[in-house]
Amino acid sequence: MDLRIGFGYDVHRLVEDRKLILGGVEIPYARGLAGHSDADVLVHGIMDALLGAAGEGDIGRHFPDTDQEYKGISSLLLLERVGGIIAKAGYAVGNIDSVVVAQAPKLAGYIAQMEENIAFALGTEKGNVNVKATTTEGLGFAGTGQGIASYAVAIIVKKLPG
């Protein structure tokens, strides 16, 4: 069986007058993430992990922030496109493990929906997607509430012919 692994990381600054979208879920919070798209830091990290595993570069290469087509776009739509890129390369999602790093808001109540959204966008089983959340105990930019980060690893498997 041909397995490949990829790693993704993303970070966005928290700002006023933006919705907070993580894993395709709008989370009630006083601030949201700054970015060209919906700035879904979790999905961005996952996209980079999948693209890296397939040897297909990163999200900036496929969806540049200089292209108006992607202004305000849902990151779940971009994730669907990444699923198409890895499928065209002959691979399917094996599994994804990810973590959101944020001091606030608390995310535990939203994680199941995030996993479902991500799995649906990729056409894979929910059990293939794992999302965790952690704080930094008040340390660093995430701990002081300046931004949110995400890390992800993804395994993709070569699809069998036919």
**Are residues 53 and 156 in contact, defined by beta-carbon separation less than 8 angstroms?**
yes
Is 63 annotated to bind a ligand? Reply is yes
Is 62 annotated to bind a ligand? Reply is no
Is 137 annotated to bind a ligand? Reply is yes
Is 38 annotated to bind a ligand? Reply is no
Amino acid at the residue 135 = T
Is 135 annotated to bind a ligand? Reply is yes
Is 66 annotated to bind a ligand? Reply is yes
Cβ-based neighbour number of residue 18 at 10 Å: 17
10 dihedral zone (left: phi>0; alpha: psi -120 to 50; beta): beta
Is 10 annotated to bind a ligand? Reply is yes
Interatomic CA distance for residues 127 and 68, integer angstroms: 35
Query: Dihedral sign, CA of 114, 118, 121, 123?
Result: negative
Is 12 annotated to bind a ligand? Reply is yes
Is 124 annotated to bind a ligand? Reply is no
Is 72 annotated to bind a ligand? Reply is no
Is 37 annotated to bind a ligand? Reply is yes
Interatomic CA distance for residues 67 and 46, integer angstroms: 21
Is 141 annotated to bind a ligand? Reply is yes
Residues annotated within a binding site: 10-12, 36-37, 44, 58-60, 63-67, 134-137, 141
Residues annotated within a binding site for a divalent metal cation: 10, 12, 44
